[in-house]
Amino acid sequence: MRRQLLTLSIALPLSLHALAHEHDEHASLGAHEHGVASLNLAIEGAQVQLELDSPAMNLLGFEHAAHSPDDIAKVKAVQAQLQQADQLFRFPAAADCTLASADLDSSLFATQHDAEHEHEHEHEHEHEDHDHDGAHDHDEEAAHHHADIEASYTFNCAQPDQLTHLELPLFAVYPGLERINLQGITPKGQMGAELTAERATVQFD
Ligand SMILES: [Zn+2]
């Protein structure tokens, strides 16, 4: 088994970029499934990269653009929570990992732009006062009701030899998340795992 993994690690390109590319191909086949998310992991030297790609439903509970104060507050709370990577992903303490960067990406996070857009519409309505515009807005929104959230993290680990496993408290934080399909590249080779709340730890060896 060990020997097989070593062979794979030589044969396959050792970069997260390759995994990400593979993932894109899957996504184009329609990978948006509520309850399911994908996680790409790459351990290269002292650096660990994680890329979480999830339907917004799993993390946020909805996928429409936030307009109500409650929805806007929820989006902000999820954004803030996703920045707290150490509460979502836990490496062994002995590996001494610290979060170096966290990048979030989602059409639902573009609140500034949406707010401006909304403001323009309000003005139009004041001048024209037609119901047609309102109905059209609704149609537009219904057409884009699916949305994803991507979160990318880089960790630097002082003792990468101690990176024996990864635990995902993420499941406890987001009950809407039922399954994570993990693809990883570690010094031991390429790996895959299916994680759930009951099986929220992946071993690297
Ligand atoms: Zn959806």
Q: What secondary structure, in 3-state letters, does 138-153 show? A: HHHHHHCCCCEEEEEE
Which residues have CB under 8 Å from 6's CB, separation 6+?
Answer: 188, 189
Check residue 9 and give its pLDDT. Answer: 47
Check residue 205 and give its pLDDT. Answer: 75
**Separation of CA 84 and ligand 1 centre (Å):** 24
3-class secondary structure, 203: strand
**Separation of CA 124 and ligand 1 centre (Å):** 30
Check residue 117 and give its pLDDT. Answer: 52
**Separation of CA 176 and ligand 1 centre (Å):** 12
Which residues have CB under 8 Å from 30's CB, separation 6+?
Answer: none
**Separation of CA 55 and ligand 1 centre (Å):** 6
The three state secondary structure string of 84-141 is CHHHCCECCHHHCEEEEEEEEECHHHCHHHHHHHHHHHHHHHHHHCCHHHHHHHHHHH
List the chain pLDDT tens, one digit each, 205 residues. Answer: 444 544 444 444 445 555 554 444 444 445 899 999 999 999 999 999 999 999 999 999 999 999 999 999 999 999 999 999 999 999 999 999 999 999 999 999 975 554 445 454 444 444 444 444 444 444 444 555 899 999 999 999 999 999 999 999 999 999 999 999 999 999 999 999 999 999 999 999 7
**Separation of CA 144 and ligand 1 centre (Å):** 9
**Separation of CA 75 and ligand 1 centre (Å):** 16
Check residue 187 and give its pLDDT. Answer: 92
**Separation of CA 100 and ligand 1 centre (Å):** 30
Token pair for 80: 């803030």
**Separation of CA 152 and ligand 1 centre (Å):** 20
Handedness of CA 152, 20, 41, 169 (dihedral sign): positive
**Separation of CA 57 and ligand 1 centre (Å):** 6
**Separation of CA 37 and ligand 1 centre (Å):** 11
Residue 40 burial (CB count, 10 A): 22
**Separation of CA 58 and ligand 1 centre (Å):** 9
Residue 115 burial (CB count, 10 A): 12
Check residue 99 and give its pLDDT. Answer: 97
| Partners of 99 in beta bridges | 155
Check residue 15 and give its pLDDT. Answer: 52
**Separation of CA 120 and ligand 1 centre (Å):** 27
